[in-house]
Each structure stands twice: as structure tokens, then as C-alpha cells.
Amino acid sequence: MTSTQQPPHPPPHPPQNQGHSGHGHSHSHGPAAPVSKHLRKVIAAVLIPFSVAVVVGLVVLWPGGAPPHARTGVGFDRQTQQATVTRVDKVDCKSVNASGDTPTGDTSTAEGRSATQQAKGMCEKATVRVDGGKDTGRTFTEIVQPDSPRQFHDGQKVIVAYAPDAPKELQYSVTDVNRRFPMALLAGIFALAVVVVGRLRGLMALVALAVSFMVLTFFILPAILQGSNPLVVAVVGASAIMLIALYTCHGLTARTSVAVLGTLVSLLLIGLLGSLFIGWAALTGNTDDNTGLIHGLYPSIDMSGLLLAGVIIGSLGVLDDVTVTQTSAVWELHQADPTMGRRGLYRAGIRIGRDHIASVVNTLVLAYAGAALPLLLLFSIAQSSVGTVANSELVAEEIVRTLVGSIGLVASVPVTTALAALVVSADRPGSPAPAAAGPARGGRGRRRKR
């Protein structure tokens, strides 16, 4: 019967095909048909108060800039200037050795070999010109030992530290290489690749990335330095980043709103688990020179709270990816088979999510392991047992950070899938009603049977 109805009704087909093309277009611009007005009201009733609370939190906690402090001259808390290496000469290491004595040590050890090289080898004497500040044009010399990992060459751009209280000939010293140009070039290549491949969506992703850095730089960091609770600041800041990034990249749609809800629930779980296990494991968050310097300059900062804030912010980026992917998967499954109920949608979506879980958790663990690779090498050299390594606070922090974040990622899959399945299956748009009232129109009847 269906085949006999097709020839008499060719004109209605193009409008129906347009409807289908709208569904296919939804891969890059959200769902073709908006959800019903009732569901939009339900979603808005949850997200609007949450968004208002985030805005209020930003206003109340807004720091207005990092608090000033006297320079300590330690680590990153030093005055620095840009400089240029103008000349490099080879000199006898013995002639520039402060003690003038040839060391006698065991050359079978690294220390002994280094001491012998410093005494008998050829060193570099670099002349460096200061290119900024009140001493622009001033030059000084820097001695580079032969076993130094950093060697200089003519014309090289470097960063020098300035110590105003030191003797004049010792006020400047080279601390690092100026690598701003290659870093800026790499960032430009990244931005170009994102825009070329992602087009408008890629451009919006870069805008969201810029806004995220602005929230981090102008709100989260200064607010923590001013003494606000790091956990509260991280929750408010991460929520603002989440709302801005997701809606900027994926549009103001019900699909995006479901991803926001799934991300929010997962962040709350990460916050609760992180707070519990950081306290239970007695992690102080003060494990290296940098955190020690922060605690020395700002004793009022809760370092364990800062650690928890880092766990929340660090997990946000991967959470966004998981929740958006799961929501889109459920939406596409519903568009492919509108008759599928919420249980069927959940089961199909969770099967997709299981693959996502396996890859994302592995990625997260390897990312943390890669960042801590030098530390792990030190433990391997010391031939420490796995239990000893895991018990040290440096490694325990990374373990807690990784596992708490991974638990949140795993939980985000069923939570977001369930929310998306519930929303799309409960949706009752008004547009299909005329199709049910007009069964004689073969085009719509065939689409409903699919």
C-alpha cells in the first residue's frame, strides 16, 4: 500500500527531505528541532538560579587584583629583565675557578667528574647586555661550566635576574633563555589549525579558551591570594568557565544545558571526594619550593584547599569533553530512532560511554604520569618500593588528584547519559501533532514509521 501511495504525492517529499536535512545539520549546530516549551522551562528553572548564583559569587569574591608584597628575590619572586648575549669566549676553567685549587675527588662519581671538568676543562665566558629597565645597555659576564646543561651563543636572547641589594658586579645573573618567540609561534600555529579545521566552531573554542584564561588570571588566582577560601573560589570560577565555554562553543540549546547539568553534578562529586581524601590522607599541599614560597609570602592561604581547587579546575576540561560527547550521542540516537524510550537510549548511550571512559581515564593517568616523570625517575634511581613511592606526599598528591578526577569522569558518563535520555524521551514538541491527525499524507506517515 505504501508503494502505491508514493507516485501520487511527489510534491510533499521535498519539505520532508528538508526536515531530514535539518536533522543531519544538527551535528554541528545543535538539535534540528528545539525541545518543548515545558522542558525548556524545567531546564531554565534549574540553570537560571545556578547562573545567578555564579554571577553573585563572582561579584562578591572579585579581588580587584593580586595583593602587593615585597620582593623576596627567591625563585619566581625576582625582578627580571630581558637581555642579549653579545659575545662568548672560551677560557680555561682553572683561571676562573674561585678557589684556584684543583679538586681531588673520586672520578667514578658524577660529582668527582664534574669537579675535574670544572678545574681542567674549557669554560665559556659570556658577555651579556641588559635590554630593559634602568640599567639598559649595561653589560656583565657569566661563566658557564663545560658540564652545564645550558650553553650560550652570540645573539641569544636570555632572561636575567636583578638583585638590587647585591654588590654591583653581582647584581645581574642569567636565569633562563628567552623563549617567547617560539612559544608565541607555536600558539599561533595551534590557533590556525583550530580555525582551519574547526572553522566557526574552532574560532568560538578559541574565544572560550581566552575567556577561561581571563577568569583564571583575573579572578581565581588573585582571589586566592587575597585570602578567600580556595575551594569556594575554585567552584565559582570553574562554574563560570563551564557556563561560558560550553554555551560559547555549543550554543544556547537544551543539549548544551544537559551537558552543563552533567558537568555540574560530576564537579560536585569531585569536590566532595577530593575534600574527603585530601583530609584523610593528611595532604598539606606544601610539597616543593614553589608552594613553600607561596605559603611564606601569604601564610593565610589554605594550602590543602589550594590543592583541592587544583583538582577541581584540572578535571573541568576533560569533564566538558565527556559530558558534551555523551549528550550529543543520546540526541543523535533519539533523532535516528524517535520511538526509542529512555531505557533504550540510556543503554545505547552507555555503551558509547564505556569506550569513552576507557580512553579518557587512560589519557588522564598518562598525562599526570608524564608531568611527574622526572620525580618517578628519582624514585626509580633510589630503588624505592612502590609502597614507599606512593606513600610520599609528592606522589600521593598526584595519585589523589588522578583517582578523584577519574572517579568524577567515570560518574559523569552514566549521570549525563541518564539526564540526556530523560530529557529527550520526555520531550513532547507540538510539531508532530498535525502528522498524527493527517494519516492520508503518505510522506509524514512513512517518516513516523521510521
Local confidence pLDDT in tens for the 450 residues of the chain? 444 444 444 444 444 444 443 443 334 444 444 566 777 777 888 888 889 999 999 999 888 766 666 665 566 667 888 899 998 888 888 777 644 454 555 555 555 555 555 556 788 888 899 988 888 888 888 888 887 778 888 888 998 988 887 888 788 888 888 899 999 999 999 999 999 998 888 899 899 999 999 998 889 888 888 878 888 888 899 999 999 989 988 888 888 888 999 999 999 999 899 989 988 988 887 777 777 777 777 777 888 888 888 888 888 878 888 898 899 899 888 888 888 888 888 998 898 888 878 777 777 777 777 777 777 777 777 676 777 777 878 778 888 888 898 898 899 999 999 998 888 877 655 444 343 344 444 444 444 433
Q: C-alpha cell of 440?
A: 492520508
Q: What is the pLDDT of residue 69?
A: 62
> Is there a contact between 301 and 310 (Cβ–Cβ < 8 Å)?
no
**pLDDT value at residue 5:** 44
Confidence (pLDDT) at 7: 45
C-alpha distances (whole Å) from 327 to each of 343, 413, 414 are: 15, 9, 11
* Of 387, 409, 398, 368, nearest in space to 283 by CA: 398
Place of cell 649595561: 138
Query: What is the sign, positive or negative, of the torsion defined by CA atoms of 368, 370, 372, 373?
Result: positive
Whole-structure pTM value: 0.69
Q: How many CB atoms lie within 10 A of CB 95?
A: 9
Q: C-alpha distances in angstroms, 288 versus 15, 23, 293, 346, 421?
A: 66, 53, 9, 45, 46
Cβ–Cβ under 8 Å, residues 234 and 313: yes
At 44 the pLDDT is 81
Report the alpha-carbon distance of residue 32 to residue 335 in Å, rounded. 9
